[in-house]
Amino acid sequence: MSATGSPANRDFFTMTAQDEFDFGAGSNSEGYNQWLAQRQRALVELARKLNLPLNHPVEVWLAGGIRLRGRLRLQEETLFVPEDHVPRLRLQVDQVPFLIHEMESCVRLD
């Protein structure tokens, strides 16, 4: 017999509708703006701890004589980086990804 053969099994496998968030219900965007401000503060703090000019135009020299110019960003939006993960931290300049330990120098251009 199939899994949906009896009425009880049909009820078990029937998917229920998920409630939706109504983001347009209120005109108050204060919570969202506070969240954005908090993320920006966390990114600034992470950049300070790593001593890197995140979200700024840079010139980066990688091992092997590779030069990149563009905006330095985290490859993944990670705002908390444990110290044991710093050697494996993935960065990118524009669309070119690299690991932090591959970087030989980084100069902020603005």
Q: Which of 101, 39, 47, 48 is nearest to 71 (CA)?
A: 47
Backbone phi, then psi, for 101, in 5-degree steps?
-75, -10
**The CATH fold of domain 53-110:** SH3 type barrels. (2.30.30)
Considering the entire predicted model, what is its pTM? Answer: 0.64
d(CA 73, CA 97): 9
* Residue 94 reports pLDDT greater than 80: yes
What value does the mean pLDDT of the chain take? 78
Check residue 92 and give its pLDDT.
95
Check residue 5 and give its pLDDT.
56
